[in-house]
Chain A
Amino acid sequence: MAQSPARPSKKPTRKPAPAKAPARRPTSDAATLAAAVAEFARGKFDVKFRPEDYADPGLRLVAEALDSAGGDVGTQLKEFNERVQNVSHGVDEAIEALIRLVVQGDLSGELRLSVTDATLTPLIAGIGQVMETLKRFATEIREAALQLSTSSAEVLAAATQNESSTAAQASAIHETTATMEELKGASHQIAENAQMVAAIAEQTLTGARQGEGSIKLFMASMEKVRHNAVEVDEAIGKLSKRVERIGTVVEVIDEIADRSDLLALNAALEGAKAGEAGRGFSIVAAEMRRLAENVMESTKEIKNLITEIRESTHAAKQASDGNKREASEGEKLGGAAMTSVSGILTGIQETSDAARVIHLATQQQRTATEQVVLSMSEIEEVTRSAQSGSRQATGAASELTKLAERLAELVKRFKVD
C-alpha cells in the first residue's frame, strides 16, 4: 500500500492565553496570590505569580513554587499540542488510506503511514484487522457470489422446468377436468339408461309372471284336456263295444232275413211248380220275400251305418289318442316352458336387481364425479396460481441470476490477492 503523503494539520495550534491584569488590586498578598492561583486553575497558564511582590516569606515561597510549576506546565502543554497535531495527521492519513482502498477495492497491500506514533499503533493494527476482515469478507463474498450465481442458474433452470411442468400439469388437469365432465355426462346417461333398464326389467318381470300364470292355466287346461281325452277314449271304447254288439245283432237279423229270403224264394219256387194251385202260395212267398229284402236292405243300411260309426269311432279313437298324446306333450312343453319361464323370471329378477344396483352405483358415481370435477376445478385454479407463481419464480430466478452476476462483477472489484 502506498504511503499516505503528510499534510499539514487542520487543527490550529493552541496558544497560551495572554495574562490579564487584575480588575482590582487585592487588598492583601494572600488574596492576590489566591486570585493568581484561581486564574491558573481556570487554564490561564501564563499567569505570573511574582514572588518578589510578596513581603511574607511564606507567600513568596508559594509564589516561587507556583511560578516554577506554571513554567513546566506551559512547556508540557506545548509538547502535548505538537503530539496531538502529529496524531491527528496520522489519523487523517489513515482515514484517507481507508477511503482510498475502499474506493479502489484494493485489499492486497498493508497500511503504511508517514507518521510514527505509538498512539497510532492500535489504530494501525485495528485498520489492519479491518482490512484483513474486509479481505476475508470479500473472498467469502466472491465465493458466495460464485455459488449464488451457480445456484441462481440452477434455480432458474429448476423454475423454468417447474413452470413448464406446471403448464403441462395445468393442461393435463384441464383435459382431465373436461374428461371428468364428459364422464359426469356419461354417468348421468348410464344412470338414466340403468333406470330405464330397471323399469323395463320390472315390466318384463310382470309380463313373465303373467306368462307364468298363463302357463299354469295352460298346464291345468292340458291336464283337463288329457283327462277329457281319457274319458272320451273310454266312452269311445264303450261306444265301440256297443256298436260291435249292434253289429252282432244286425248280423243275426241279417242272417234271419237271408234265411227268410231263401225260404220265401223256395216257397215261391214251390208255388210256381204247383201251377195255378200254388198261385196264392206264391203271392204270400213273394210278399215274405219282399219283407225279407226290406229287412236285408235295412240291415245293409244299418251295417253301412255301423261301418261309418266304426270308422268314426276309429277316427275318434285316433283323435282321442292324439289328444292324449298332444295333451301329454303339451304338459311336457308346459313344464319345459314353466322351467324356462322360471329361469327367465330368475334372470329378469337378477337383471332388475343388477339394473337397480347399477342405477344406484351410477348415481353414486355421478355424485363422486361431480365432486371430482369440483375438486379438479379447484386443482386447476390452484395449478393456475402455481403456474403464475412458477412464472413469477422464474422471473425472480432470472432476476436473481442477474443480481448474482452483478454481485460477482462488484466483488471482482475487490483485489485481495
Chain B
Amino acid sequence: MTEPVSELLMFQVGARVFASTVRDVVRIGNVAAAGSDGLIEGTSLGPTFARERGIVVAAPEGGVESTLVVDQVLGVRSVPESEIQPLPAFAAAVIRSGAVSGLVLFDEAPTLIVDLPTLVRERLAAALASPSPA
C-alpha cells in the first residue's frame, strides 16, 4: 500500500518560496492580462516584485474568484503527507496569520504551506478595515 501524498503548488513571493495545496487553486493566470479587478496583493507573505503570475483562488460559497499576485509559480510537487508538519507555536505567534497551516522540508529547506482561501479572506478583511482614501 502506497503512502498518501499531497500535491502542492510551489510559488514565490519576493525571495521566499511558499506552497499551497492544489485543491485551493482554480487555475494559474497571467497578471498582466487579468486586469486590476480581484487582484490580491500586499498580503502577509510579503511584497511582490516581478508580479508575473496570478493564482486564481475560488471564492467560498459562490463568491467572486480572487487572484493572488505572486512573482513566480515554480510548479507542482508531490509530498508525502507524513512530511507535512504543523507550524510550531512560536512561529505561528510570530507570523500573526492564520493562513499558514504548516511546513514541509524541500532539500532540507523549510517551506511554509499557505491556506490560500484564508489568506485571501484575511487580506479582504484587512482591506475593508482600512479602506484606501478616495
Contact = CB atoms under 8 A, between A and B. Distances in A.
Interface of A: 258-259, 262, 265-266, 268-269, 271-273, 275, 282, 286, 289
B9 interface: yes
B28 A286 contact: no
Contacts of A262: 28-30, 53
A273 B23 CA distance: 7
Interface string B71-98: 0010110100000000000000000000
12 contacts: A258-B30, A262-B28, A262-B29, A265-B28, A265-B53, A269-B28, A271-B76, A272-B7, A272-B22, A282-B76, A286-B76, A289-B75
A294 to B, nearest CB: 14
Contacts of A289: 75
B9 A269 contact: yes
Contacts of B23: 273
Q: Which among A272, A282, A289 has the greatest number of chain B C-beta atoms within 10 A?
A: A272
Contact of B76 (A258, A268, A275): A268
Contact of B25 (A258, A259, A269, A282): A269
A265 B7 contact: no
Contacts of B30: 258-259, 262
A262 B56 CA distance: 13
A266 B55 CA distance: 10
A269 B76 contact: yes
6 nearest A-B pairs in the assembled complex, by CB-CB distance: A272-B7, A272-B76, A272-B22, A268-B76, A265-B28, A266-B27
B124 to A, nearest CB: 23
Contacts of B76: 265, 268-269, 271-272, 282, 286
Contacts of A273: 7, 22-23
Contacts of A269: 9, 22, 25, 27-28, 76
B29 A268 contact: no
Nearest to A282: B76
B27 A268 contact: no
Contact of B75 (A258, A259, A268): A268
B41 to A, nearest CB: 19
Nearest to B74: A265
Given A272-B76, A282-B76, A266 B28 contact: yes
A273 B29 CA distance: 17
A263 to B, nearest CB: 9
A266 B54 CA distance: 12
A229 B9 CA distance: 56
